[in-house]
Amino acid sequence: MATYHEGDTITGTVTGVEEYGIFLSFDDNQSGLIHISEISDSFVKNVNDYAQLNDKLTAKVIGIDEDGHYKLSIKELEGKDKKDSHHIVETDKAFSTLKARLPEWIEEAYQELEK
Q: Cβ distance 70 to 29 under 8 Å? A: no
Nearest to 11 by CA among 20, 21, 2: 2
pLDDT at 9 over 50: yes
Nearest to 73 by CA among 54, 57, 94: 57
Question: In sequence order, what DSSP letters do the residues of 46-77 get, joined into one string?
Answer: -GGGT--TT-EEEEEEEEE-TTSPEEEESGGG
Rounded CA-CA distance 4/10 in Å is: 8
Q: Which CATH class is domain 9-85?
A: mainly beta
Q: How do residues 37-77 score in pLDDT, each as one tens digit?
A: 999 998 999 999 999 999 999 999 999 988 888 999 999 98
What ranges do the domains of the chain cover?
9-85
Please tell me which residue, 23 or 30, carries the higher pLDDT value: 23
Please tell me which residue, 96 or 53, carries the higher pLDDT value: 53
Q: How do residues 75-93 score in pLDDT, each as one tens digit?
A: 998 765 444 555 566 667 7
Nearest to 20 by CA among 45, 41, 42: 45
What pLDDT is recorded for position 83? 47
What's the mean pLDDT in 23-37? 90
Mean pLDDT estimate for the chain: 86
Please tell me which residue, 100 or 92, carries the higher pLDDT value: 100
pLDDT at 105 over 70: yes
Whether pTM > 0.85 for this model: the answer is: no
